[in-house]
């Protein structure tokens, strides 16, 4: 009996075996060998970027904590912080730079408030009618005569013309109703600024005041200067405030007495030191977690280890004219643990009371001899510049991300091209096999008929 095993293999779907599913399985198998390792690199690089971001956040927290003790801090340095307490409500105290306030008590007595000049005209019930009362003459702050001809202009128009001059403003206001039900109006004229120097006068040597501005009763507020005693010294001003010591501004609000008491606020230094310790400890703990973790994704541990070592060495140095160290003021490090910073409040407060200048020199310093905080802040700044460790590390992660993505794109492209070609070849092979299957099918039929006829 003839062997039809070859024929059977074709008739059982030899052409159909060269189909898309087979190509997909082959491609998936090769993709695991080629693409998956690149995906793993991308995954690890992404994880490293996320972990580095966490570490960088703790470094930034430490940076922010140490800034208030930096020599070049734009705000008020913690060592210059003061507490200011006031009594009384006759004035408001304000300082452009609180660090320049002198310790002690400032006593203020407001004898007279500065006041602007305010006038009202006689009552009018026809503000739209022409005045026709001759020249309206006035002076502002003792200046030249300002003359307005009232011929063919109304009270409202006169107000508009007055407003065309600096230092004064006018308006026509409804002030009530008379017994006959007619609306009543007055022309109100006010100086823009308070003080006797800004007083408004009406008329001149040859022209009398009109519209009631010759009546002192219509001077509803009389221009006057501020009169104030500060620590026994009398001050007069056309404004509502004075500035003493080129820094402290005192704004009068009412008659009476007020005091300002200024003293050093050492709590700011203590709070800053605790903030520094907490931020430093969190930074060290986070970095140590990666340095000693078996499954750490950080690739450049030496850079982080070096940075922590540099910062710690700065804490161990001596500073200032007295060549003192932080260990003289209650700061220490846990030598049995992870080297965490410890603050002794009692020793720190004693240093602030006994020798605050030396403590400030130790932490802040001066331009030619910078203190701990100033040097550490500048060191971290350097690490964030384009050639600094933090900046370089971040750039490496980004560079690797780009490299891996390009590598994957190239490998995927080659893989796609390979299996696109294979699919085309399978299609051609399938057509040939189908033709062979058709030929063998006819041959098989003839053989079967020959066998059955015997």
Percent share of the chain, pLDDT over 90: 45
282-313 residue pLDDT tens: 999 988 888 888 788 887 788 888 888 899 99
Last residue of a domain, one of 264, 282, 312: 264
Residue 435 has a pLDDT of 67
Does residue 377 share a domain with residue 389?
yes
For the cut 50, the answer to whether the pLDDT of residue 9 exceeds it is: no
- Give 40's contacts (C-beta < 8 A, 6+ positions apart): none
Average pLDDT, the chain: 85
Does residue 352 share a domain with residue 321?
yes
52-71 residue pLDDT tens: 888 889 999 999 999 989 99
Residue 116 has a pLDDT of 95
For residues 113-145, one letter each, b for 16 or more C-beta atoms within 10 angstroms of the residue's C-beta and e for the rest, the string is: bbbbbbbbbeebeebeeebeeebbbbbbbeeee
Q: Which two tokens mark 50?
A: 């996320």
Phi, psi of 136 (to 5 degrees): -100, 115
Does residue 428 share a domain with residue 309?
yes
d(CA 444, CA 450): 10
Does residue 35 share a domain with residue 129?
no
- Give 200's contacts (C-beta < 8 A, 6+ positions apart): 117, 119, 138, 139, 140, 168, 189, 191, 223
d(CA 74, CA 263): 21
**Backbone Cα Rg of the chain:** 45
Last residue of a domain, one of 224, 251, 283: 224
- By the 8 A CB rule, do 100 and 153 touch? no
Does residue 105 share a domain with residue 19?
no
Does residue 326 share a domain with residue 181?
no
DSSP string covering 275-308: HHHHHHHHHHHHHHHHHS-TT---S-HHHHHHHH
- Give 233's contacts (C-beta < 8 A, 6+ positions apart): none
- Look at residues 362, 332, 293, 377 and name the one whose alpha carbon lies nearest to residue 59: 377
Does residue 396 share a domain with residue 277?
yes
Confidence of residue 4 (pLDDT cuts 50, 70, 90): very low
Does residue 247 share a domain with residue 181?
no
- Give 209's contacts (C-beta < 8 A, 6+ positions apart): 137, 138, 202, 203
3-state secondary structure 76-105: CCHHHCEEEEEECCCEEEEECCHHHCCCEE
83-109 mean pLDDT: 89
Within 10 A of 386 (CB to CB), how many other CB atoms are there?
7
Last residue of a domain, one of 224, 254, 283: 224
Does residue 237 share a domain with residue 216?
no
* Total domains, the chain: 3
Beta strands in 113-178 (DSSP E): 118-120, 135-140, 146-149, 168-177
Within 10 A of 227 (CB to CB), how many other CB atoms are there?
17
Handedness of CA 375, 377, 383, 387 (dihedral sign): negative
- Look at residues 103, 81, 95, 84 and name the one whose alpha carbon lies nearest to residue 251: 95
**256 against 425, higher pLDDT:** 256
Residue 453 has a pLDDT of 61
Residue 426 has a pLDDT of 67
d(CA 218, CA 207): 19
Q: What is the dihedral of CA 420, 423, 425, 429, to 10 degrees?
A: 180
Domain carrying residue 89: 82-114+227-264
Does residue 87 share a domain with residue 66?
no
d(CA 369, CA 375): 10
202-236 residue pLDDT tens: 999 888 999 999 999 999 999 999 999 999 999 99
Does residue 416 share a domain with residue 280?
yes
Does residue 248 share a domain with residue 326?
no
Handedness of CA 179, 183, 189, 194 (dihedral sign): positive
């Amino acid at each position: 009996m003839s062997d039809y095993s070859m024929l059977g293999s074709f008739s059982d779907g030899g052409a159909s075996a060269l189909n898309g599913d087979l190509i997909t399985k082959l491609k998936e198998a090769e993709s695991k060998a080629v693409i998956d390792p690149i995906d793993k690199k991308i995954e690890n690089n992404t994880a490293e970027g996320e972990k580095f971001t966490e570490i960088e956040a703790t470094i930034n927290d430490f940076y922010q904590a140490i800034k208030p003790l930096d020599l070049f801090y734009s705000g008020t340095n913690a060592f210059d912080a003061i507490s200011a307490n006031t009594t009384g409500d006759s004035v408001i105290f304000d300082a452009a730079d609180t660090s320049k306030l002198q310790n002690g008590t400032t006593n203020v007595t407001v004898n007279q408030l500065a006041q602007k000049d305010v006038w009202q005209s006689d009552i009018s019930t026809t503000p739209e009618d022409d005045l026709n009362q001759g020249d309206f003459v006035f002076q502002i702050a003792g200046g030249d005569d300002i003359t307005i001809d009232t011929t063919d202009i109304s009270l409202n128009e006169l107000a508009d013309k007055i407003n065309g001059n600096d230092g004064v403003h006018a308006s026509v206001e409804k002030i009530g109703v008379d017994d006959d039900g007619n609306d009543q109006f007055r022309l109100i004229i006010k100086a823009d600024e308070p003080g006797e120097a800004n007083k408004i006068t009406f008329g001149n040597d040859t022209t009398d005041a009109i519209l009631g501005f010759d009546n002192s009763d219509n001077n509803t507020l009389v221009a006057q200067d501020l009169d104030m005693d500060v620590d026994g010294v009398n001050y007069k001003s056309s404004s509502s405030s004075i500035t003493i010591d080129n820094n402290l501004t005192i704004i009068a609000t009412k008659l009476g007495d007020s005091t300002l008491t200024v003293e050093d606020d050492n709590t700011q230094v203590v709070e800053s030191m605790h903030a520094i310790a907490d931020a430093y400890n969190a930074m060290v703990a986070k970095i140590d977690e990666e340095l000693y973790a078996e499954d750490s994704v950080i690739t450049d541990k030496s850079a982080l280890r070096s940075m922590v070592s540099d910062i710690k060495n700065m804490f161990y140095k001596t500073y200032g004219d007295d060549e003192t160290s932080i260990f003289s003021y209650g700061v220490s490090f846990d030598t049995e643990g992870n080297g965490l910073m410890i603050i002794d409040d009692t020793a720190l407060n004693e240093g602030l009371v006994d020798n605050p200048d030396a403590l400030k020199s130790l932490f802040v310093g001066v331009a030619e001899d910078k203190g701990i905080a100033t040097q550490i802040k500048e060191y971290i700044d350097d690490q964030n510049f384009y050639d600094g460790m933090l900046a370089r590390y971040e750039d490496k992660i980004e560079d690797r991300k780009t490299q891996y993505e390009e590598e994957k794109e190239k490998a995927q492209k080659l893989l796609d091209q390979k299996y696109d070609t294979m699919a085309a070849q399978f299609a051609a092979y399938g057509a040939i096999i189908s033709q062979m299957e058709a030929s063998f099918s006819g041959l098989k039929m003839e053989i079967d008929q020959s066998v059955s006829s015997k």
